[in-house]
């Protein structure tokens, strides 16, 4: 049967320009912002807002989302590592004993920005919108949030597809007969790069992973890598439908007249999806070991869902500017 027992082994890098690696993940992030800009352009035209404001909004959202997503990952999921590698928090590099950055700085490699958290991006985006609305007297914060969450939903879909190309945020082990069961050959836990290179004696990680997948000599090694839920795809598909639903609510109903409603609906839908998909993911670390019961992503999603319900059903408008 098709779609059962898939081997997944993309390099993750589309092409290289000198020392700069152009990754699928980075391109999908760019696509998220570009598509988001066009969606917001249509909304601004419908609401008769100037393109000058849209260009300003684009800068605020790009900076706040990228910064928040990065810091969210650092502090929510991997502070034990980054507290000893502070330079790597905001630079697209990673410590690597056998690598050289630009052929000059030994001990580091260029990785691009990896490790981004949606909860941090959400918090930072709200702060960014608040700063943006302080600049324009005719735009209220909740009015803007109600519209901005629509492209945010499709953006979240693109980001999860990027995670899938990177073979990261993989799901729990599942039998290969399960629909869409995926063997992530590059899973950092099942087959880290250093282990693949040691087994195959290949000089690069890409060559090592290709050897494990295609060389009959390593067929036994390949069989030791388990199949997993493609949790990133579950999440991406759900976010796409969240996007379609929010689009319908904005364009086909009068709910956009109740400030805060669409923003609240987005928070409830997006983080409810995140909460349930977490049951299919392997642990991403963070503070779940100390709290127990739920994963870090689930604990962080609960207050987001509660905030969403509040804005959907709050008795009176707030955050209006004088």
pLDDT in tens, 172-190: 999 988 989 999 999 989 9
The pLDDT of 308-322, averaged and rounded, is 71
pLDDT in tens, 270-299: 999 999 999 999 887 776 667 778 888 899
Give pLDDT, residue 125.
86
Ranges of H-type helices in the chain: 24-47, 51-77, 79-82, 118-135, 141-165, 193-200, 205-214, 219-224, 231-252, 261-277, 288-291, 296-313
Please state, in angstroms and rounded to a whole number, the distance separating the CA atoms of residues 137 and 133. 7
pLDDT in tens, 255-269: 999 999 999 999 999
Going by pLDDT thresholds of 50, 70 and 90, the confidence category of residue 114 is low
- Please name the residues in contact with 185: beta carbons below 8 A apart, sequence gap of 6 or more: 7, 8, 9, 167, 191, 209, 212, 213, 222, 225
Going by pLDDT thresholds of 50, 70 and 90, the confidence category of residue 321 is very low
Going by pLDDT thresholds of 50, 70 and 90, the confidence category of residue 112 is low
Give pLDDT, residue 101.
58
pLDDT in tens, 244-256: 999 999 999 999 9
Q: Full-prediction pTM beyond 0.85?
A: no
The pLDDT of 197-221, averaged and rounded, is 93
């Amino acid at each position: 049967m098709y779609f059962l027992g898939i081997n997944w082994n993309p390099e993750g890098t589309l092409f290289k320009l000198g020392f700069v690696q152009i990754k699928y993940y980075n391109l999908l992030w760019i696509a998220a912002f570009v598509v988001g800009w066009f969606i917001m352009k249509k909304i601004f035209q419908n609401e008769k807002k100037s393109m000058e404001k849209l260009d300003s909004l684009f800068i605020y959202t790009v900076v706040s989302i990228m910064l928040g997503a990065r810091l969210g990952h650092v502090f929510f999921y991997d502070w034990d590592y980054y507290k000893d590698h502070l330079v790597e928090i905001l630079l697209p590099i990673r410590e690597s004993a056998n690598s050289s950055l630009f052929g000059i700085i030994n001990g580091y490699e260029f990785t691009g920005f990896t490790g981004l958290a949606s909860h941090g991006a959400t918090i930072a985006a709200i702060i960014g919108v608040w700063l943006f609305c302080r600049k324009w007297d005719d735009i209220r914060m909740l009015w803007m949030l109600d519209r901005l969450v629509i492209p945010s939903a499709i953006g979240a879909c693109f980001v999860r597809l990027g995670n899938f190309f990177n073979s990261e945020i993989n799901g729990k082990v599942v039998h290969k007969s399960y629909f869409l069961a995926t063997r992530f050959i590059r899973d950092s836990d099942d087959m880290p790069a250093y282990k693949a290179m040691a087994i195959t004696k290949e000089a690069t990680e890409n060559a090592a992973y290709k050897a494990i997948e295609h060389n009959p000599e390593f067929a036994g090694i390949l069989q030791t890598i388990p199949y997993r839920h493609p949790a990133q795809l579950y999440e991406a598909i759900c976010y796409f439908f969240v996007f379609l639903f929010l689009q319908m609510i904005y364009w086909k109903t009068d709910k956009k007249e109740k400030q805060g409603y669409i923003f609240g609906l987005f928070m409830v839908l997006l983080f409810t999806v995140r909460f349930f998909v977490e049951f299919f993911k392997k642990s991403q670390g963070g503070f779940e070991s100390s709290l127990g019961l739920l994963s870090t992503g689930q604990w962080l999603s609960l207050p987001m869902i509660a905030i969403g319900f509040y804005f959907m059903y709050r008795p009176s408008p707030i955050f209006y500017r004088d």
